Amino acid sequence: LLPWQKTLPGAERIKNSFPSEVDSFEVGIVLDCGELSRTGRNEDEIRRIPVLINIDHHLTNKPFTELRMADTKASSTSELLFDLFNSLTIDWSVSICTNLYVGIFTDTGSFRFSNTNERCLEIASFLVKNGASPSQIAEKIYNTCKVNRLRLLHEVLGTLELTPAGDIAYVTATREMFQKTGTTSRDTEDFINFPRAIKDIKIAIFFREEENNFINVSYRSVGNINVAELAGYFGGGGHYNAAACRFRGLTMSEVMEKVIRAANDFLHGK
């Protein structure tokens, strides 16, 4: 978890690995995952749970459970959880309202992305009325950055490149950068929004080296450009304007060449 995420209500109950008693579980709920492989190293353990329920809003959702609540028009999985909780007439505690607000706030890019709509703003308003604090949440997310994360950002922005047409921008984070700055890939949250913010950029791409010879690729787009389709060329997916895919066994330069060429062809109709 990022430092600010550790301050959220109930964060102390989050575990990074499955407990040994996984075989005693009767029901598992997979949240905000379009396919089970996105759960990573926990996939095998999750498959052992007899009944799985998937609640998700990704455009590229691939059904992997019989019980499923999916709506690609929802701003976030938090919005779906709000509807579910509302139907159960739960007690709207400050903790629940805070966490659901955070989910909507972050998935809409602080209410800046195209998935920000009347519906999610109405839900956010309800959550604020019942105890969520927009100012405190924004303060935790944006103003609790550690200095080593800024040093990592400095390294990453130093790799900024634009394609000759000037409509695709991309940056890179390597394992060497993480080691140099004492950070991890988790510290790169939202870094892709810097190249995305450049004037006239239509697609921003972030290449990130991970452990076990993986390279993650994140996409962001502006306007009517479906990067979920673009990521799908490489087995990935996500949302219309925000998606990702991953590679294994290729060098960074090989991945960059494939991905940038595909993005160019996607934009310019080749």
Q: What is the torsional sign of CA 109, 115, 118, 120?
A: negative
Phi, psi of 26 (to 5 degrees): -100, -35
In tens, the pLDDT along 259-270 reads 999 999 999 986
Taking 90 as the threshold, does the pLDDT of residue 1 lie above it? no
- Which neighbouring-strand residues pair with 128? none
Mean pLDDT computed over 232-254: 94
Six token digits for residue 136: 């405190």
Taking 70 as the threshold, does the pLDDT of residue 254 lie above it? yes
8 A C-beta contact, residue 236 and residue 217: yes
**Which of 29-43, 180-194, 219-233 is the least confident region?**
29-43
The rounded distance, in Å, linking the Cα atoms of 39 and 47 is 11
pTM of the model: 0.84
Dihedral angle computed from the Cα positions of residues 70, 75, 78 and 84, in that order, rounded to the nearest 10 degrees: -50
- % of residues, the chain, pLDDT over 90: 79
Mean pLDDT computed over 197-209: 98
Locate the domains of the chain by residue range. 5-142, 147-268
In tens, the pLDDT along 27-81 reads 999 999 988 888 877 888 889 999 999 999 998 888 999 899 999 999 999 999 9
- Which neighbouring-strand residues pair with 263? none
Which pLDDT value is given to residue 126?
A: 98
What type of residue is 183? Answer: T
DSSP secondary-structure letter at 209?
E
Which pLDDT value is given to residue 270?
A: 63
The rounded distance, in Å, linking the Cα atoms of 3 and 187 is 9
Q: Which CATH class is domain 5-142?
A: alpha beta
Q: Which CATH class is domain 147-268?
A: alpha beta
